[in-house]
Amino acid sequence: MNTNELQLRTVNVTRYVTPLREGGSMPAIAEADDDFLYVLKFRGAGQGPKALIAEIIGGEIARALGFRMPELVFANLDEAFGRTEPDEEIQDLLKASIGLNLAIHYLSGAITFDPAVTVIDPKLASQIVWLDCLLMNMDRTPRNTNMLIWHKELWLIDHGASLYFHHSWQNWQEQAKRPFALIKDHVLLPWATELEQVDEEFRVLLPKELLQNIVALVPEEWLLADAAFESAAAHRAAYVEFLEIRIAHSEIFVKEAQHARTTLI
């Protein structure tokens, strides 16, 4: 991967198709001016730009590590979309999200991954568990796997619950070194038998330059909405430093995952 060429396309939303009443963010299926359907994630939803920032950073790290990820695009939402929507809750959401949002290419016909139906390779399970430990992604559980089977291949979606430390930024450098206790609830943990090998392979695939280029994808206006930093540049640098520290101390979260796994089997 050429880390100097990372970029996301920008599309304009042309049609609001239907809401997806999942969780508190209320994403929607929408059509854009490139004639593709997308799952639209709104900047004006409950967690604001934070969830979209996590989506970009988590999703593009997953892509850099070789996972199948639907394309992420920036999606412009015109103010006209909130005028004719009869549902007041959705209307408020649309009005609060005028401007730049994030969208994920809609995988038409995809089905939710079910470990009881689809056998997953231990190496792939270990890779996904490692990724979610790095990102502190609490949202890959049996209740909500956030994985899809599309054309007989496994695809990862929805990293908006990752990097949850950034909702406060309290002691974030120390948090970077902490194990990820919630890995005990990960849907793939029982099959993650190759974590040490994956750790050796994945650590070298995420150099600082790549992390910087991924974080650079985040729009400045989303970063400036957080008063924790004096500038967007300082905010970006903190994300990169957090990830660098976490990767450098990956043995901590790997050991936590291994310990959690032994209690399950």
Q: Is the pLDDT of residue 200 over 90?
A: yes
Q: Is the pLDDT of residue 163 over 60?
A: yes
What is the model's pLDDT at position 1? Answer: 46
8-65 residue pLDDT tens: 999 999 998 988 866 567 899 999 999 999 999 999 988 889 999 999 999 999 999 9
Confidence of residue 206 (pLDDT cuts 50, 70, 90): very high
- Measured distance CA(116)–CA(118) in Å, rounded: 6
Cβ–Cβ < 8 Å for 232, 245? no
Here the contacts of 33-36 (C-beta below 8 Å, separation 24 or greater) are 36/11, 36/105, 36/106
**Closest to 12 measured CA to CA, from 56, 70, 101, 77:** 77
- Measured distance CA(74)–CA(104) in Å, rounded: 9
- Rg of the chain over all Cα atoms, to the nearest angstrom: 18
Cβ–Cβ < 8 Å for 77, 98? yes
DSSP sequence for 133-175: HHHT----SSS---EEEETTEEEE---TTS-GGGGT-TTHHHH
- Measured distance CA(8)–CA(152) in Å, rounded: 26
- Supply the DSSP symbol for 84: S
> Exposed, middle or buried by CB within 10 Å (0-12, 13-18, 19+), for 265?
exposed
Residues recorded for the chain:
265
- Measured distance CA(46)–CA(93) in Å, rounded: 9
Helix axes 250-264, 195-203, angle to 10 degrees: 160
Confidence of residue 115 (pLDDT cuts 50, 70, 90): very high
What is the model's pLDDT at position 185? Answer: 97
| Token pair 């231990």 in the structure block, residue | 122
What is the model's pLDDT at position 2? Answer: 45
Residue 260 one-letter amino acid: A
Strands of the sheet containing 111-112, edge to edge, are 111-112, 147-150, 153-156
pTM of the model: 0.95
